Amino acid sequence: MPNETIKVVIAGPRGRMGQEAVKLAESTPHFELVGAVDHTYNQKKLSEVMSSDSEALIYTDITQCFQETQPAVLIDLTTPEIGKVHTKVALEHGVRPVVGTTGFTESDLEDLKTLTEDKGIGAIIAPNFALGAVLMMKFSQMAANYFEDVEIIELHHDQKLDAPSGTALKTVEMISAVRSDKQQGHPDEKEILPGARGAEQNGIRLHSVRLPGLIAHQEVMFGMDGQSLKIRHDSYNRASFMSGVKLAVEQVMKIDQLVYGLENIID
Ligand code: NAP
């Protein structure tokens, strides 16, 4: 049976993520891009302001956009402050939000959880939409049931401000949920240079590499006597996040609650 068409509005269409989302909506047969929300270019066509063939109009007023275009889903790829407002307004108008915008606090998520329950419609907020990165974490958790010894190497572009990455910390959290506590390495091990063995969280070593030319990469290395297992994911560009956005748009139509994190919608 063919998929039902899903009417989509994209907020932040000129941004680096937003441009990829516009391409995704244009190239997915069962998605229909009916409008966009931006803080400028009101009532211009998308094709007039960016590299796109879309005749969909841009709105600076999100409420007007929802009233005139009647979308099923809002994809928000803007900034933390605006993303929170958009998500709330979408739910109030019965539009299901798929949010890639980062920076939602626990309290924001609690408020949105209550709102989705009141409205009885789904919402998906995911700080990492790279499907492969989520699978890498899930597979690592699966492997940790059998391999107790593990180290994580995460590699990112040299403009990244935080280390280790949020994905590396999330991987430790997921592995720790199934791995029994173990002191890895030699008990008398000494660092000749401080930091040589990396950071440690829950007894797991984390190593952060920062180099120009890299985007976002992670390798989870497991070892036991006579064998090793490496699970690696590489994001080469922002298009890498779009398979997750596509999946989320499809899944958000089938749920009636708030889901935080793509790992919760992948079997
Ligand atoms: P970006 O290139 O800065 O894009 C943000 C866009 O939002 C810009 O075009 C900006 O326009 C626009 N914007 C600002 N205020 C707006 C408003 N009131 N209404 C509509 N649009 C508005 O950033 P990006 O790299 O695309 O990232 C966007 C968000 O996604 C960030 O929060 C980032 O952390 C997050 N992100 C998530 C993932 C994931 O997997 N979930 C991956 C990468 C990034 P101006 O430039 O004119 O201000």
pLDDT value of position 130:
93
SS3 (DSSP) at 20: helix
**pLDDT for residue 1 is more than 60:** no
**pLDDT for residue 165 is more than 90:** no
Angle of helix 106-119 relative to helix 80-92, nearest 10 degrees, comes to 10
Q: Provide the annotated binding site.
A: 12-17, 45, 100-102, 126-129, 157, 166-167
Q: Provide the annotated binding site for (S)-2,3,4,5-tetrahydrodipicolinate.
A: 157, 166-167
Tens-digit pLDDT profile for residues 236-246: 998 999 999 99
Write phi, then psi, for 167 (nearest 5 degrees). -65, -40
pLDDT value of position 105:
86
Residue nearest to atom 34 of ligand 1 (CA): 102
Tens-digit pLDDT profile for residues 43-71: 999 999 999 999 999 999 999 999 999 99
Q: Provide the annotated binding site for NAD(+).
A: 12-17, 100-102, 126-129
Q: Which of 76, 79, 110, 81 is nearest to 95 (CA)?
A: 76
pLDDT value of position 174:
92
pLDDT value of position 2:
62
Buried-state track 13-47, b at ≥16 Cβ within 10 A, e below 16: bbbebbbbbbebbeebeebbbbbbbbeebeeebbe
Residue nearest to atom 30 of ligand 1 (CA): 101
Gap from CA of 28 to ligand 1 centroid (Å): 22
Gap from CA of 77 to ligand 1 centroid (Å): 5
**pLDDT for residue 234 is more than 70:** yes
Q: Which carries the bigger pLDDT value, residue 64 or residue 102? A: 64
CA distance 143 to 29: 37
| Nearest atom within ligand 1 for CA of residue 78 | 7
Residue nearest to atom 18 of ligand 1 (CA): 39
Catalytic residues: 156, 160
CB atoms closer than 10 angstroms to residue 214: 16
Q: Which of 134, 19, 18, 14 is nearest to 76 (CA)?
A: 18
Gap from CA of 15 to ligand 1 centroid (Å): 5
Strands of the chain (E only): list them: 6-11, 31-37, 57-59, 73-76, 96-99, 123-125, 149-156, 199-201, 204-210, 216-224, 227-235, 258-260
Gap from CA of 146 to ligand 1 centroid (Å): 40
Q: Which of 254, 260, 247 is nearest to 130 (CA)?
A: 247
Residue 228 sits at the vertex; the CA angle it makes with 222 and 232, to the nearest 5 degrees, is 60
Kindly report the pTM of this predicted structure.
0.86
Gap from CA of 12 to ligand 1 centroid (Å): 6
Contact assessment for residue 136 and residue 232, using Cβ atoms and an 8 Å cutoff: yes
Tens-digit pLDDT profile for residues 16-28: 899 999 999 999 9
Per-residue pLDDT, averaged over 215-244, amounts to 95
Joined together, the tokens standing for residue 48 give 């007039």
pLDDT value of position 159:
85
Work out the mean pLDDT of the chain and round it to a whole number. Answer: 94
| Nearest atom within ligand 1 for CA of residue 99 | 41
SS3 (DSSP) at 181: coil
Assess whether the previous peptide bond of 13 is cis (omega < 30° from 0). Answer: no
- To test the pocket of ligand 1, the residue of 17, 129, 240 to mutate (highest count of ligand atoms within 8 Å of its CB) is 17
**Ligand 1 site residues, Cβ closer than 6 angstroms:** 11-12, 14-18, 37-39, 77-79, 82, 100-102, 126-129, 241
